[in-house]
Structure 1
């Protein structure tokens, strides 16, 4: 069975060090794997049976740089991914990293990456300095993605300082760091981020915009019925319900989740055509992810869709 994994991170050490950035506790432990774009990464893929990784830079570390440096670092990251795809054209594709503090520059970089480098879309890491993707200042980036016919993968990022202080302070440092990110916080924030886009009318303005989120839907499949009951068109003023909008514009990936409950919930809420395989390399184990995929309680035709068919359709691979 062919397997395409679409949330697979990189962050070359030389680019990060030259920008004076610190990877911190969690990513720092994975620095060598994030840096590896050659034989080590290919061995992980081969051992797990993964045919193609769609690379994405863990670029939320770049967001707080000034706009000029952010653009330069993102261009370096994109050029490095393009070089890797060129070196291993049968094994890698890429999502663009964008300088989100400068929307005009982000539009130009997305256009360059798609039209000149052959990238399949972009990955955006959460809010940027408190600005979510429903904000009018960001609309040109979303419009460019729709015009270029590529999706945006909305990936979590650490919360704003005010949110961290309100919800996660007063705990041991390592506990609060995990609770505010991979242990809970960034899943709920990403789900809220998507809902903000829905209720702000982003998808009514841009009906062809496609958004991908990971971690089996960041909790949205489980809560979808409740959301639908409460955020009705009477409340939102929109022509479509929240569920109708999400099922039209949203795709989910399996990244980091390898158990029946979340998978079956995602399939029940969104349907098999909206669920794609990913690992979340190097923060999750590739072999564990593919082993679960091979044994998941779905029919073989659906397994093929999740493993590669939906990615091929969405991304044009």
Structure 2
């Protein structure tokens, strides 16, 4: 069975240097240096393909690891987004049977985002990865509406990836427990996921999908907790005067990937609120390391070979236009 992993991270050395040189570097950059992460993230050739082979993965959709370029000044964000997209396109060109890529966009410069999205699609990028906030500007800000219109028109799915919460939110909710615990709570332990779910919910409440019904968005980590709160979130639609409940948009405009969290209980809940056609496989490489056996065991929890095929590859092929 063909296996496509859609959220497989890499780093651009020039971007990493720029991010480390800003006055207050993003603390989550430290995760890229843990263990052998740096080596794995920079390898876009034989080492990565060997890791894919060991897990039984046929195609990896490369996505720049957080925090992207959105924390950089506009001019630098534009330049380094182009650099990252060129590097990813070159990696795909060297191994077109094994790699595809998501583009990086200069979200701190909204007026340049559409141009880079169009350019990146011309390079062969099959979608894009963004974050819920750029500085103080939320992703649902009207400044990005042209971007969402273009993404819908171009058939470029938008993956909203977690990022560290703002300093003000961290001060209010994620400090006072010790430096390492504070960082873990603000990132992989909780804050990343709440922040991303909120960004997705704000897009719905802003009417983004009513203006752009063809727009498709991907959320990782089984929907960043949003799938588990739809009974309550649906009540927001009435207050926001939306034509549909929140759960309608989740089933119509959102795709959900596992991000290496191969827990059958999470699968069962996802299938209770959306359909198997909306679920996608990923490992969140190199931050999760499911083995070939663990992946095979998880796939055994689907009800049919057809459902397994959809999750393993068919849904990704349809969403990203992959010829497998």
Name the counterpart of 1:13.
13
The one of 60, 77, 88 equivalent to 1:81 is: 88
Question: Does residue 93 of the first structure (1) align with residue 97 of the second (2)?
Answer: no
The one of 296, 309, 313 equivalent to 1:308 is: 313
Q: Deviations over 1:82-106 (max 9, x none)?
A: 0000000000001000000111211
CA RMSD, aligned part only? 1.6
Q: Map of 1:26-105 to 2, 5 A cutoff?
A: 26-29=31-34, 30-105=37-112
Q: Deviations over 1:45-84 (max 9, x none)?
A: 0000000000011252532221111111111111010000
Name the counterpart of 1:249.
253
Aligned residue pairs, count = 314
SS in 1 for 2:133: coil
TM-score by length of structure 1 reads 0.94
Paired with 1:130 and 1:303, the residues of 2 have a C-alpha distance of: 41
CA pair 154-61 structure 1, distance change in 2 beyond 3 A: closer
| Gapped regions of structure 2 (runs ≥ 5) | none
Question: Does residue 236 of the first structure (1) align with residue 243 of the second (2)?
Answer: no
Q: Map of 1:35-184 to 2, 5 A cutoff?
A: 35-114=42-121, 116-184=122-190
Kindly state the Cα deviation for residue 149 of structure 1 after the two structures are TM-superposed.
Answer: 1.3
The one of 271, 274, 277 equivalent to 2:278 is: 274
Paired with 1:52 and 1:240, the residues of 2 have a C-alpha distance of: 36
Q: Could you tell me whether the CA contact under 8 Å between 2:69 and 2:104 is conserved in 1?
A: no
| Gapped regions of structure 1 (runs ≥ 5) | none
Q: Could you tell me whether the CA contact under 8 Å between 1:123 and 1:152 is conserved in 2?
A: yes
CA pair 292-225 structure 1, distance change in 2 beyond 3 A: farther
Paired with 1:250 and 1:18, the residues of 2 have a C-alpha distance of: 32
TM-score by length of structure 2 reads 0.93
Q: Deviations over 1:14-46 (max 9, x none)?
A: 552366556732122221111111111111100
CA pair 260-87 structure 1, distance change in 2 beyond 3 A: same
Q: Could you tell me whether the CA contact under 8 Å between 2:205 and 2:237 is conserved in 1?
A: no
Q: Deviations over 1:181-206 (max 9, x none)?
A: 11111111111111111111111111
